Amino acid sequence: MQDTSFAIHPGKKKEIKGTDFQDIGNVLSFSEQNGVFMIKCEHGYVHVTFYTNSIVRVVMNPDTEPSLTTSPAVIKEREPVSYTVNKGKEEVVVATENMTLTVRKSPLRISITDKEGLTLVNESEKGLGSNAAGEVVCFKNMHQHDHYYGFGEKTGFLDKKGNQLTMWNSDVYAPHNPETDPLYQSIPFFMTLRDDLAFGIFFDNTGKTHFDMREEDDTYSFRGESGQLDYYVFAGPTMKDTLTQYTALTGNMPLPPKWALGYHQSRYSYETEEEVRELVHNFLEKGIPVDAIYLDIHYMDGYRVFTFDKNRFPNPKKLLQDLRDQGIRVVPIVDPGVKEDSEYSIYQEGVTQDRFCKYIEGTIYFGDVWPGNSAFPDFTNRDVRKWWGEKHRFYSDLGIEGIWNDMNEPAVFNETKTMDTKVMHENDGDPKTHRELHNIYGLLMGEATYEGMKRQLKGKRTFLLTRAGYAGVQRYGSVWTGDNRSFWEHLQMAIPMCMNLGMSGVAFCGPDVGGFAHDATGQLLARWTQFGTFTPYFRNHSALDAARQEPWSFGENIEEIVKNYIQLRYVWMPELYRLFKEAHESGIPVMRPLVLEYPTDKHTFNLSDQFMIGDNVIIAPVMTPDTEHRVVYLPEGSWVNYWTEEVLEGGHHHLIYAGLETLPIFVKQNTAIAHGAIKSTTEVKEENYQIHLYKGKEGKVVYRIYEDDGQTFDYEQGKVYENELTFHYSSDKLELTTNRTGTYEPDWESFTLVIHGDDDLTQIMIDGKDVTKLAEAKAGKYIVPLSI
């Protein structure tokens, strides 16, 4: 039914807040076994255990002793942790090196402080419990200065204080508005920034969960409609530490193949071989770099996964090989729905080998998706994941190295938009309903796909793009933000959405550039491509009936701008790749909100229209039509306009000119960044590798160049090129010392040092050698050729 005022009928209010909460009550007993503290209360059971000195897990079950089995999000084992226990009459205090947990007994209340004694979480009025609907609930005190970041893929501004958020993977084709929630991904993790302290909470519950971060009661809460109350607290004390702790628990992003960081072109759909060839021809002829072309659902025979339509794609092997010879990869879409068709081998195998999701009575669940009536593999079963992974030989044998998983919420064309929640999942021997496991369906499909492709590519890195996921999705794939629209508002929304994905462990993410549904305009495409140049994932994608939005779709002027920015992506590739390596190791995202670097600057707390690449570069896209100026906030320090070299003082808002051809970029003084010049990641030789140093008056900069072969896992064995460059400089002297490590030989044999800053250098020394004579002074810069 179309919504009317009936939607706000008073009879629809589900509960009078606070009336049906059953508090867990007083502690009846407290015991300890193998590092697990077991607390029995009047109305439930709680187990507490430390994973590390800085990560504690609390599990509450209102009915029975809690199970300590984790969801598949968690891959870290508990580390041995030393702690002391102090048992008092009123409370028990357990302390590790980095956090102290106080368990108050009457009634049970848990509070956690960090090693400085600062409170991370505390419960006062209310604590843990359940409600009349059978949900598990947890209340925590909210502080006036709290700001909340993370929660995965959400619309709205950066700081989630004041919001209610739901986690239930959902296919949402309707416009993504500020109140459109939930979307495709569920990442029930968030960080609190309170003054200069940060810490995190991960509510590991694979069913539908809700977070209430509204400000009314000085409390926030989270609850799960099924399962246990199972949450982890990460001690921080910074947001970066918290992210590292969270990704240690749920896994790090593997280093993607370099081609996956290039520009990708997609459309729903490039429908025939000729169309794909013509598309590629256009890119090559126009000199616009492109690393991957996507095949949406029309490549298949009647939308049957693991097939090609023989008429439209008569010789996929040859097509793929020809494209590969031109440096372009093809990424096909693979949805979970398997067409019900007794003559289709995947369906036959699925039925005869018992691979599909079923009702408890044993009948297969069918849902309507693109191929019509379809069955869905039960990815919660290890053998099914293996089977599905193996099926990808169909693609890998053709030379395909990347897969696009869509509709894996799973989406079904029915009222509820998904699978019947009564369906049972095998869940590796611990059967549970779809209601309880819905949010991990996409994650496990991702695991099956990633692991299968990885095995088949024999040492080459694979690439996965996935629409749905759960905490830990970063282990397998990159995430795009689903079916946005070609609205300026959706360009605006993509910035905080991607920043919060990054603050939820998903460093590799991006929106459909240009917008998926609705019609892009030239201006919108130009501005969106400028933004996309700096999103970790960079793909232009649009829907069937939407205006075409390939780079040349809006005339020469727009084509030129779009081309320049796609090329700029490759210029920045060495810097981006270095940041991907950092994200792979530490979980700290490539694309960052300013608050991550300036957590005490109040102007950054909810700054949603600018972002950073790494720790010293600010990108401030223009996101309204016919706009040639915008306000940019620069935090403390001096910042150099990337295009004009003008130095601007931080701690201020500046009005910046940004005609349609200009994306405002600012580099902080006292920073080095690497640049390249190749136009595609597969072109072999990088001949113009550059290190740009943005000097201040005097200072020290340490910068680590990172390169490897970009396609294998040899980097894990130290086959890397790392060079730690240490610059010491004053207004007239500069000294650089290099420290190269690793066994990888990059394509380039030399690089150029470009020194920005308009003062007169009288001496440039490199590793003790005077190279002043080699330096060429040019437009306020010094250019120095160097060998590596």
Residue nearest to ligand GLC (CB): 268
Distances (CA, A) of 297 to 266, 270, 277, 304, 412: 11, 9, 18, 9, 16
Give yes or no for a contact between 439 and 393, defined as CB atoms under 8 angstroms apart. Answer: no
Q: Please, which residue, 468 or 665, has the CB nearer to ligand GLC?
A: 468
Q: Please, which residue, 46 or 172, has the CB nearer to ligand GLC?
A: 172
Residue-wise burial string across 159-181, b where 16 or more C-beta atoms lie within 10 A, e elsewhere:
bbbebebbbbbbbbeeebeeeeb
State which amino acid sits at residue 285.
Answer: E
Q: Please, which residue, 259 or 270, has the CB nearer to ligand GLC?
A: 270
- By CB under 6 A, name the one of 230, 378, 401, 483 that touches ligand GLC: 483
Site string for ligand GLC, 203-242 (x = CB under 6 A): ----------------------------------------
Give yes or no for a contact between 486 and 494, defined as CB atoms under 8 angstroms apart. Answer: no
Distances (CA, A) of 237 to 76, 380, 534, 614, 711: 20, 35, 28, 20, 35
Distance CA 87, CA 90 (A): 8
Count of alpha carbons within 13 angstroms of residue 727, beta-carbon side:
28
Closest distance to ligand GLC from the beta carbon of 334 (Å): 10
3-state secondary structure 638-684: EEEECCCCCEEECCEEEEEECCCCCCCEEEECCEEEEECCCCCCCCC
- Find the radius of gyration of the CA atoms of the chain: 27
Q: Please, which residue, 320 or 407, has the CB nearer to ligand GLC?
A: 407
Query: Tokens in use for 637?
Result: 């320090």
Beta-bridge partner residues of 212:
164, 221
Closest distance to ligand GLC from the beta carbon of 372 (Å): 15
Considering only residues 557-616, where is the footprint of ligand GLC by CB under 6 A? none
406 binds ligand GLC (CB under 6 A): yes
Q: Please, which residue, 267 or 392, has the CB nearer to ligand GLC?
A: 267
Closest alpha carbon to 264 in 287, 244, 283? 283
List, by residue number, the catalytic residues. Answer: 406, 409, 483
Considering only residues 508-527, where is the footprint of ligand GLC by CB under 6 A? 516
Q: Please, which residue, 96 or 408, has the CB nearer to ligand GLC?
A: 408
Query: Tokens in use for 268?
Result: 């729903």
Closest distance to ligand GLC from the beta carbon of 75 (Å): 28
Q: Please, which residue, 171 or 597, has the CB nearer to ligand GLC?
A: 171
Q: Please, which residue, 503 or 547, has the CB nearer to ligand GLC?
A: 547
482 binds ligand GLC (CB under 6 A): yes
Closest distance to ligand GLC from the beta carbon of 268 (Å): 3
Considering only residues 265-304, where is the footprint of ligand GLC by CB under 6 A? 268, 296-297
The strand order across the sheet containing 36-41 reads 27-33, 36-41, 44-52, 55-61, 229-234, 197-203, 189-194, 146-150
Q: Find all residues with CB under 8 Å of 632, minimum gap 6, and list them.
A: 610, 618, 620, 653, 654, 656, 664, 666
Closest distance to ligand GLC from the beta carbon of 400 (Å): 17
State which amino acid sits at residue 259.
Answer: W
Q: How many CB atoms lie within 10 A of CB 556?
A: 8
Q: Please, which residue, 467 or 675, has the CB nearer to ligand GLC?
A: 467
Concatenating the DSSP letter of every residue in 226-238 gives: SS-EEEEEE--SS
550 binds ligand GLC (CB under 6 A): no
User: What are the DSSP E strand ranges found in 402-515?
Assistant: 402-405, 424-425, 432-433, 463-466, 469-470, 478-480, 509-510, 512-513
Q: Please, which residue, 409 or 575, has the CB nearer to ligand GLC?
A: 409
State which amino acid sits at residue 62.
Answer: P
182 binds ligand GLC (CB under 6 A): no
Q: Please, which residue, 110 or 300, has the CB nearer to ligand GLC?
A: 300
Q: Find all residues with CB under 8 Å of 7, minimum gap 6, and list them.
A: none
Q: Is 222 helix (H, G, I), strand (E, B) or coil?
A: strand
Could you tell me whether strands 136-141 and 690-694 are parallel, antiparallel, or unpaired per DSSP bridges? unpaired
Burial class (CB in 10 A: 0-12, 13-18, 19+), 719: middle
Beta-bridge partner residues of 674:
691
Closest distance to ligand GLC from the beta carbon of 171 (Å): 7
333 binds ligand GLC (CB under 6 A): yes
Q: Please, which residue, 391 or 467, has the CB nearer to ligand GLC?
A: 467
Closest distance to ligand GLC from the beta carbon of 57 (Å): 35
Count of alpha carbons within 13 angstroms of residue 317, beta-carbon side:
4
DSSP state of 415: T
Distances (CA, A) of 393 to 193, 295, 405, 545: 46, 17, 16, 33
Give yes or no for a contact between 271 and 303, defined as CB atoms under 8 angstroms apart. Answer: no
By CB under 6 A, how many residues form the interface with ligand GLC?
Answer: 10
Sites of contact with ligand GLC (CB under 6 A): 268, 296-297, 333, 406, 467, 482-483, 516, 541
